[in-house]
């Protein structure tokens, strides 16, 4: 279980220093802490506070508002490290949401809005959730129905969202709404407006969804009934919100890839350690090729997914088109992470199924990366259409 086993190719001295800084915080929260959160489902407040106090929540935020102004490459390295210490997606999601989710504020917010919102996010004083997905629209985001009706001084919102993560503890919500009905728009992407506002629990009912993994970071169905949002909380122009969320999609895919790879590598470290130590039929199980080869293969897939992740990050950070690479990184990273976690369970045999060895939890943690924020099928559709020039299928 050491890093030399999985060297990180091509990291600069600064990036290595960043990784070590994150490790100094993340490694203080070990398996017992994360197993307890998996049992009790309590949000990892201590971890969130420790990361905020060390200044990591602002890594990608502009320096003028107290952030570090670094790129996706550094954010991916940070999230890779965060997810490497047994906390899986519970650890990652606790901080990840702050990195690129609020990007529409950074890109389209007014100076007044940025000054009002960004420093509080960096300090961990505000916790933001994202209300994008709707039960009837699914992946077809332009079909959302949550409607913001213009009134004097603001908007009144009615609607429903699903899977809104951290809404149990968040005090802020970034909300995707329609301000013009789908049927009245020239283009499906028109008429969508984005807000960042207080999560007013007198107007928003939040119901937790029991789920497979990442128990400590809640996801919810939310019901919005007559929420007033002042004009001052609208991001950018009315009706242009769809284009604003596109800014954060590729970075988010890169971060998810990094997290999934880290979880897979964490599981692989545990599996190889076990395979060296566990003796059956008078030999370590790791001496059997039936155990070795699948582990060696998982290592190769994880490493190649990491290279794609770094490639996508580098393209993004140098202002180049990275849609194909970011989607590929997310697909490959999630698959490689998932397969490595399963192989770890198979390597430990019956004990792989026991909570005290943690690999079953890592398997549950990593699974969501194949489904969210976009599914594998939709990534394949994107590559087929945009890279291979095949007809659009959705
Ligand atoms: C743990 C968790 C946390 C989440 N957190 C958030 C959050 O904080 N905020 C938020 O807004 N959302 C969140 N989500 C929602 C997530 O982004 C969606 O679940 C995801 O985008 C998939 O949407 P869906 O479940 O509605 O799938 P659907 O759109 O219902 O699709 C169902 C299946 O059909 C496939 N499919 C659909 N159409 C096609 C097609 N044309 N071709 C091929 N296959 C197709 C899909 O790939 C998928 O496998 C979260 C989800 C989970 C599980």
Per the structure block, which two tokens stand in for 293? 């080869």
Testing ligand 1's pocket by substitution, the residue of 134, 139, 379, 384 carrying the most ligand atoms inside 8 A of its CB is: 139
Q: Is the pLDDT of residue 216 over 60?
A: yes
Ligand 1 midpoint to CA 227 (Å): 25
How many A from CA of 205 to the centre of ligand 1? 22
Q: Using CA positions, which residue lies closest to atom 25 of ligand 1?
A: 138
Confidence band of 9 (pLDDT split at 50, 70, 90): low
- Evaluate whether 104 touches 244 at the Cβ level (below 8 Å): yes
Mean pLDDT over 38-59 rounds to: 96
Distance 13 CA to ligand 1 centre (A): 38
pLDDT above 90 as % of the chain:
94
Rounded to whole angstroms, the Cα distance separating 369 from 353 reads 21
pLDDT tens digit sequence for 374-394: 999 999 999 999 999 999 998
**Are 80 and 369 in contact, with CB atoms under 8 Å apart?**
no
Q: Determine which residue's CA is closest to atom 24 belonging to ligand 1.
A: 138
The pLDDT of 40-51, averaged and rounded, is 97
For residue range 64-89, list pLDDT tens digits in order.
999 999 999 999 999 999 999 999 99
Distance between CA 224 and CA 95 in Å, rounded?
Answer: 26
Contacts of 38 (CB under 8 A, 6+ apart): 90, 215, 216, 355, 361
Q: Is the pLDDT of residue 10 over 80?
A: no
Task: State the average pLDDT for the chain.
Answer: 95
State in Å: Cα 336 to ligand 1 middle: 20
Q: Are strands 147-151 and 128-131 parallel, antiparallel or unpaired?
A: unpaired
Protein residue closest via CA to atom 48 of ligand 1: 375
pLDDT given for residue 102 in this prediction: 86
pLDDT value, residue 247: 82
- By C-alpha distance, which of 300, 310, 382, 281 is closest to 15? 310
Closest ligand 1 atom to Cα of 138:
26
Predicted pLDDT at 88: 98
Return the ligand 1 atom nearest residue 166 CA: 8
Pair 327, 299: CB distance under 8 Å: no
CA pair distance 302, 337, nearest whole angstrom: 7
The alpha carbon of 373 and the centre of ligand 1 are apart by a number of angstroms equal to: 7
Q: Give ligand 1 pocket residues (Cβ under 6 A).
A: 130-133, 138-139, 163-165, 211, 214, 219, 368, 371-375, 377-378, 381, 394
Q: Whose CA is nearest to atom 14 of ligand 1?
A: 163
Q: Which residues pair with 326 in a beta bridge?
A: none
**CA distances from residue 160 to 96, 146, 163 in whole angstroms, order as listed:** 24, 6, 10
pLDDT digit string (tens) for 306-359? Answer: 999 999 999 999 999 999 999 999 999 999 999 999 999 999 999 999 999 999
Residue-level pLDDT at 191: 98
CA–centroid distance, residue 140 to ligand 1 (Å)? 9
6 pLDDT above the threshold of 80: no
| Cα-Cα end-to-end distance for the chain | 44
Please state at what angle helix 241-277 crosses helix 289-317, rounded to 10 degrees: 150
> Ligand 1, atom 7: nearest CA belongs to which residue?
164
- 134 CA to middle of ligand 1, Å? 9
Q: What integer pLDDT is reported at residue 365 of this predicted model?
A: 98
Return d(Cα 37, Cα 87) in angstroms, integer.
9
Measure 279 CA to ligand 1 centroid, in angstroms: 43
Q: How many whole angstroms from 371 Cα to the centroid of ligand 1?
A: 6
Quick one: pLDDT at residue 86? 98
Backbone angles phi, psi at 209, to 5 degrees: -105, 115
Residue 2: predicted pLDDT: 42
Which residue, by CA, sits nearest to atom 2 of ligand 1? 163
The predicted structure's pLDDT at residue 58: 93
Residue nearest to atom 12 of ligand 1 (CA): 133
Tokens of 343: 């192989």
Gap between the Cα atoms of 359 and 369, Å rounded: 16
**Residue nearest ligand 1's atom 45 by CA:** 377
Closest approach atom of ligand 1 to CA 97: 8
Place 1 in a pLDDT band, splitting at 50, 70 and 90: very low
pLDDT score at 5? 45
Residue nearest (by alpha carbon) to ligand 1 atom 17: 373
Instruction: Tell me the pLDDT tens digit for each residue of 126-158.
Output: 999 999 999 999 999 999 999 999 999 999 999
Burial of 151 (0-12, 13-18, 19+ CB in 10 A): exposed
Residue-wise pLDDT tens digits, 242-261 = 999 988 899 999 999 999 99
The atom number, within ligand 1, closest to the CA of 135 reads 26
**Counting atoms of ligand 1 from 1, which one is nearest the CA of 133?**
11
């Amino acid at each position: 279980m050491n890093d030399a086993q999985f060297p990180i190719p091509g990291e600069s001295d600064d990036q290595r220093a960043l990784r070590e800084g994150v490790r100094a915080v993340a490694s203080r929260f070990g398996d017992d802490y994360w197993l307890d959160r998996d049992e009790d489902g309590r949000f990892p407040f201590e971890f969130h506070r420790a990361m905020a106090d060390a200044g990591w929540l602002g890594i990608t935020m502009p320096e003028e508002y107290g952030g570090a102004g670094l790129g996706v490459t550094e954010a991916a390295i940070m999230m890779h490290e965060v997810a490497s210490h047994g906390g899986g997606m519970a650890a990652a999601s606790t901080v990840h949401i702050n990195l690129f989710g609020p990007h529409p504020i950074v890109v389209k917010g007014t100076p007044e809005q940025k000054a009002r919102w960004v420093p509080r996010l960096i300090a961990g004083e505000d916790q933001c959730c994202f209300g994008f997905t709707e039960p009837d629209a699914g992946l077809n985001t332009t079909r959302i129905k949550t409607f913001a009706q213009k009134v004097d001084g603001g908007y009144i919102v009615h609607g429903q969202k699903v899977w809104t993560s951290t809404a149990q503890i968040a005090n802020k919500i970034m909300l995707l709404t329609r301000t013009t009905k789908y049927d009245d728009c020239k283009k499906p992407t028109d008429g969508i407006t984005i807000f960042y506002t207080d999560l007013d629990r007198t107007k928003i009912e939040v119901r937790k969804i029991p789920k497979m993994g990442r128990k400590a970071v809640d996801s919810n169905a939310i019901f919005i009934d007559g929420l007033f949002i002042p004009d001052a909380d609208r991001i950018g122009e009315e009706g242009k919100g769809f284009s604003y969320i596109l800014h954060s999609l590729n970075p988010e895919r890169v971060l998810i890839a990094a997290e999934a790879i880290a979880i897979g590598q964490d599981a692989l470290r545990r599996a190889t350690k076990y395979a060296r130590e566990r003796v059956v039929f008078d030999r370590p199980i790791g001496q059997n090729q039936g155990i070795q080869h699948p582990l060696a293969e998982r290592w190769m897939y994880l490493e190649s997914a990491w290279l794609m992740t770094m490639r996508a990050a580098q393209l993004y950070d140098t202002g180049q088109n990275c849609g194909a690479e970011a989607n590929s990184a997310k697909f490959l990273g999630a698959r490689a992470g998932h397969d490595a976690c399963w192989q770890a369970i198979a390597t430990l045999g019956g004990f792989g199924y026991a909570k005290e060895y943690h690999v079953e939890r890592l398997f549950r943690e990593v699974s969501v990366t194949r489904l969210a924020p976009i599914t594998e099928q939709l990534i394949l559709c994107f590559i087929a259409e945009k890279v291979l020039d095949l007809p659009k299928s959705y």
